[in-house]
Structure 1
Amino acid sequence: MTKTTDIDTLDEVDHVLGEEYEHEPVPISARRSTFSVTTVWIGFPMIITGAMTGSILVLGMGFRNALWAMGIGNLIMFAYVGALGLLGTRRGMNFALLASIVFGKKGYVFASGLLSTLLLGWYAVQTGITGALISSAYGLNYVAMTIVAGLLYIGITFIGVRGLHLIGLVSVPLFVILGGWVALDAASTSGWNAIFNYPGNNGAATMTMGIGLTVVIALFIDAGTVTADFNRWAKDARSSVVATFSAFPFANLLAMLAGGVMTAALAVPNANPFGTDNMFGYMNGKQIGWLGALAFLFLYCNLGSVCAHCLYNSATGWSRILGTRMRIMAVVLGIIGIVVAAGNVWAFFIQWLSLLGVVVPPIGAIVLVDQYLYRRNAEIGEDWRPTAFIAWAIGSAVALIVEFYAPHFSTAISAMLAGGIAYAVIGRQPQTARAAA
């Protein structure tokens, strides 16, 4: 009786908040408007973490080279995420369902589980960053601020894709106004000529173009690979492409430029973008009461957007794997993330998550080759598809070799190319088998 009552309660919640279609394609009747899907995507990368990344690029490469890395990297992301997103739109499937076709109805667990766990890790990291910045800026209790942030972000995710739409409506205008003001105000202290000619930290650029491209791509490669979780809600291909473009290059590039311009304008020696040398620290440094209060609201809303998106992706993937519902997993995984963040151990995860991230790009490349070149209309069939795993292993091996032995090249691009080419070669099937699929 209790179990039946619980199911009835969950059904009622889905009826009120909307079905999330964890285990089946989103029907056309449930698809959302272009504006709605666009606000879901644009609110994801237009975040203070993107601004911090832009600062790191400018410090390491100088402004001009960093600008090239930002532009090229975001165009690569547009092509990669856009193509994967179109698959989600065309078939109405989330990433876990698409992965079931490509890696097998049992094999998909490895691809979807890896990405869902990585995204949970990034949710914990971003929640920890929220608590750390608020604590250092206002002298408030770190654990309390982290818990408040985590619970808020769980609440947004629990609403579902509609919640991501709503937080985007708040987060994006705040970032455009405040990020634009920070960049322009900082630029007024040195002039645009000095910004464009900024040579890097202490006058020495140390980051190669390959590393710079990897930094740009790696920032959202995990979420970009599971883009079908978002784009399955688009009503047609045009809506899907518009939504993706709003994120890459537009929102992501804008966020990076906000941080990059500020860093080049201020030219602080040995600046620490993850400390106080970021747009949040810049606003608080003005010592203006209303601006400090606005910065507080901005930080929670802005990082709330990226955290809710990461938690949504993670919960969608794990709900498929465990045969449950997204909203249940959002609460369970969100609490796990809060514990990690509140325990102040989130910083130890960054290097580990970044290392695991090098094995992600081949996954998306394999899905693209499979679904666009070989098996366009294939359905979920075999339990395991060994060719996909072999190609994944090859792509990941190349990524690790580049990461440790040729770091001046782009790890992310190398991994994509190696995984895609490997699958294109070894994933060939006899013509009759392809026709049957």
Structure 2
Amino acid sequence: MSTRNESSIAHEVEEVEEHVDAILGHEYEHEPVPPSARRSLLSVTMVWIGFPMIITGAMTGSILVLGMGFRNALIAMIVGNAIMFAYVGALGVLGNRTGMNFALIASVVFGNKGYMLASGLLSTLLLGWYAVQTGITGALVSSTYGLNYVLMTIIAGVLYIAITFVGVRGLHWIGTISVPLFVVLGLWVAGHAASTSSWEAIYSYAGNNGVASMSMGIGLTVVIALFIDAGTVTADFNRWAKDTPSSLIATFSAFPFANLVAMLVGGVMTAALAVPDANPFGTDNMFGYMNSMQLTWLSVLAFLFLYINLGSVCSHCLYNAATGWSRIVGSHMRLLAVILGVIGIAVAAGNVWAFFIQWLSLLGILVPPIGAIILVDQYVLRRGATATTDWRGTAFGAWAIGSIVAFIVEETMPHLSTAISAAVVAAVAYWGLSLVVARQPQTT
């Protein structure tokens, strides 16, 4: 009886999910996106451009300028974003050509079962990002307006789940609203702050209290690690593009354009104001700057902007997490978005966003090898390969080598970039291991 009831419930849930897909559109969690379902260049571009053009990117720009001084921070921003375009662009083209999401591509490279480790890790990290950004929303609103942190966090999380539930169309529309808001308000904040100083003083700003404590290697890691997880699963977005040029243009709109604009807004503001011991995650950010004007209409606009802007990045992260886990557990993206979203809200209420920098360090060690291995496999060693085995030891061996070297670099050679070291070493290791295995005599 119990088994029959469970089967009946599962069937009813399946019917509801099919009806929802019929209304909102199929998300193709378990199969390639067919040409007939591909979206326009504008749509895919709005999905991507609305992802990194966020207040958290501006905060990161502030951190870089505080730690490196404006001149060196600008170099790190430009170089880091150029690397991200090459990395994300190449992975995105794979998704575009095959129509497959990250989990399906990872099945080819890591194995029909092995992909679960790579996809599960990235999906969980992205769920963590959803929690971090949701927590930042609640914390900024609570500290600025004196509202209850937990309540504001729950409201934010529920709104972001709703956007994600709509699917890729929801990401398109939140980006369409968020990007113009950020451009207008971000340029106003940067321009207004710059008017209190001079461009010469901004460019020559030496860092927090005149001390540059961050090396170029760490700076590059911070820039890259900010979106390395979402950049690695870029196929989840770029599989919707109609052709390769559309895929690359959409990627370019994010890296370097949107990400660089966001970082520069925070960097220019921080260098212009030169506040001693500034706290970008407190009040020393564009949200705090707008509220410091003590204009009611501007504070209301800042409140709406925060929820909309961070709603864009949160819904993107939750979409990636739900897409990955739906493939692993054999379910639907929308159902997983609700389940994972609720988990993320619970985690956000525990102030997990406070571990932001530590989170970036973790990403710089574990994530870059995954994308590097996929690129070498699909562009160099096994073009057009299909998933034929459950586990591919060469991929996991290279992943381990890249991450171990990255950890050593972070601990002993801080002048180097952890993220770049991890990717380069993993790519070389995978190539080498694959050649060794290929030369081994085959047994029958």
Aligned to 1:401: 408
Q: What are the Cα deviations for residues 138-196 of structure 1, in whole angstroms up to 9, with x where unaligned? A: 01111110000000000000000000000000000000000000000000000111111
Q: Which residue of structure 1 lines up, in the alignment, with residue 95 of structure 2?
A: 88
Counterpart residue type for residue 132 of structure 2? V
State the distance in 2 between where 1:333 and 1:372 align.
33
Indicate if the aligned counterparts of 2:364 and 2:422 stay in contact, CA closer than 8 A: no
Rounded to whole Å, the distance in 2 between the matches of 1:301 and 1:85 is 26
Aligned partner of 1:164 in structure 2 is: 171
Show the 5 A alignment for 1:62-77: 62-77=69-84
| Cα gap change, 1:308 to 1:393, in 2 (>3 Å) | same
Inter-CA distance 215–160: structure 2 relative to 1 (3 Å threshold): same
The whole-number CA distance in structure 2 between the counterparts of 1:4 and 1:177 is 48
2:161 corresponds to: 154
Residue matched to 1:340: 347
Are positions 1:180 and 2:209 aligned together? no
* Mapped partners of 1:227, 1:411: distance in 2: 21
Partner of 1:10: 17
TM-score of the superposed pair, with normalisation by structure 2: 0.96
User: Partner of 2:209 in structure 1?
Assistant: 202
1:329 alignment counterpart: 336
* Aligned twin of 1:279: 286
Q: Residue 215 of structure 1: which of 222, 237, 257 is its match?
A: 222
Whole-angstrom CA distance in 1 between matches of 2:166 and 2:137? 21
2:360 and 2:379 map into 1 onto residues whose CA distance is 29
Structure 1 residue 83, shift from structure 2 partner:
0.2
Matching residue within 104, 111, 115 for 1:97: 104
1:250 corresponds to: 257
**C-alpha contact (below 8 Å) 2:57/2:259 kept by paired residues:** yes
Contact 1:125 1:350 in 2 (8 A): no
Deviations 1:365-409 (A, max 9, x none): 000000000111111110010000011011001110011111111
TM-score of the superposed pair, with normalisation by structure 1: 0.97
How far apart, CA to CA, are the structure 2 residues paired with 1:2 and 1:203? 64
Per-residue CA deviation, residues 343-380 of structure 1 (Å, 9 max, x unaligned), is 33442476256325411100000000000001111111
Q: Residue 222 of structure 1 contacts residue 357 of structure 1 at CA under 8 Å; is this kept in 2? A: no
CA distance in 1, matches of 2:11, 2:362: 43
Give the count of matched residue pairs.
433
- Structure 1 runs not aligned, ≥5 long: none
Give SS of 1:427's match: helix
Which of 57, 65, 69 is the aligned partner of 1:50? Answer: 57
Cα distance in 1 between the residues matched to 2:217 and 2:372: 19
Q: Which runs of 5+ in 2 are unaligned?
A: 1-7
Aligned partners of 1:121 and 1:349 also within 8 Å: no
Cα 1:14–1:26 shift into 2, 3 Å: same
What is the DSSP-based 3-state SS (H/G/I as helix, E as strand, rest coil) of the residue aligned with 2:366? coil
Are the aligned partners of 2:63 and 2:280 in contact in 1 as well (CA < 8 Å)?
A: yes
Structure 2 match to 1:263: 270
Q: 1: distance between equivalents of 2:353 and 2:221? A: 22
* 8 A contact 2:95–2:238 mirrored in 1: yes
8 Å Cα contact 2:221/2:364 also seen in 1: no
Tell me, in whole angstroms, the C-alpha distance in 1 between the residues paired with 2:233 and 2:398. Answer: 19
Query: Among 286, 291, 295, which residue is 2:298 paired with?
Result: 291
CA distance in 2, matches of 1:324, 1:404: 40
Q: Determine if contact 2:91/2:235 at 8 Å carries over to the other structure.
A: yes
- Report the counterpart of residue 197 of structure 2 in structure 1: 190
**Residue 228 of structure 1 corresponds to which residue in structure 2?**
235
CA contact (8 A) 2:369 2:399 kept: yes
Retained in 2: the 8 A contact 1:42–1:172?
yes
2:379 to 366, 372, 381: 372
C-alpha displacement at 1:2, in angstroms? 3.4
- Contact 2:287–2:306 at 8 Å: present in 1 too? yes
Distance in 2 (alpha carbons) for counterparts of 1:312 and 1:288: 36
